[in-house]
């Protein structure tokens, strides 16, 4: 996968470059293990992945990278997922990016508040990786698993 160097608060950072066959998912979670787990599975399924550890980073990376979808944890420090989603949906440059909330909050009120903040889909943790990928594909309308077929047929 091609990567490019991008300047960030912590210095230079590698980011996945655009490839029309591999949608870019921004994984936002304050737990590094969760970001790694979801990120690795998404890569395995044919997606490119960028990561953010809080809502501030998510907003910044969404504006710079224009991901195809944001997988957003809701309970995070600095700026939580609800507020980050509200800000993303209020900004003309990011309002069209689908946001899938991935949350440990199973109560009905949390799901409704996430949707009112602008989340397109709310998924409760823990969830099976296959179910997460199915929802992501449904939201972006581009089955990542067919990328290899598309490359062969266009060659």
Long-range contacts of 5-12 (CB under 8 A, 24+ apart): 6/64, 8/60
Q: CB-based contacts of 43: which residues, under 8 Å, 6+ apart? A: 49
| pLDDT given for residue 113 in this prediction | 74
Q: Can you tell me the distance from the alpha carbon of 68 to that of 120, in angstroms, rounded to the nearest whole number?
A: 13
CATH 2.60.40.2310 correct for 18-140:
no
Reported as type and span, the H/E element at residue 43 is helix 32-44
Classify 60 as helix, strand or coil: helix
Q: Can you tell me the distance from the alpha carbon of 28 to that of 12, in angstroms, rounded to the nearest whole number?
A: 19
| pLDDT given for residue 107 in this prediction | 64
Please write the tens of the pLDDT for every residue from 22-65: 899 999 999 999 999 999 999 999 999 999 999 999 999 999 99
Is there a contact between 133 and 45 (Cβ–Cβ < 8 Å)?
yes
Please write the tens of the pLDDT for every residue from 85-125: 999 999 999 999 999 998 876 666 667 778 878 889 989 88
Q: pTM (2 decimals)?
A: 0.79
Q: Where are the domains of the chain?
A: 18-140
């Amino acid at each position: 996968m091609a990567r490019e160097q991008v300047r960030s608060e912590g210095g230079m950072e590698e980011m996945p470059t655009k490839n029309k066959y591999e949608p870019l998912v921004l994984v936002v979670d304050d737990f590094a293990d969760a970001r790694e787990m979801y990120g690795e599975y998404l890569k395995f399924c044919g997606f490119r992945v960028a990561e953010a550890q809080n809502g501030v980073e998510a907003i910044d990376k969404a504006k710079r990278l224009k991901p195809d979808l944001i997988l957003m944890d809701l309970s995070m420090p600095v700026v939580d997922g609800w507020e980050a989603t509200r800000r993303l949906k209020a900004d003309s440059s990011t309002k069209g990016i689908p946001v899938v909330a991935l949350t440990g909050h199973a109560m009905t009120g949390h799901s409704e508040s996430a949707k009112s903040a602008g989340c397109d889909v709310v998924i409760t943790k823990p969830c099976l990786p296959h179910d997460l990928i199915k929802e992501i594909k449904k939201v972006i309308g581009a089955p990542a698993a067919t990328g290899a077929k598309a490359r062969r047929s266009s060659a």
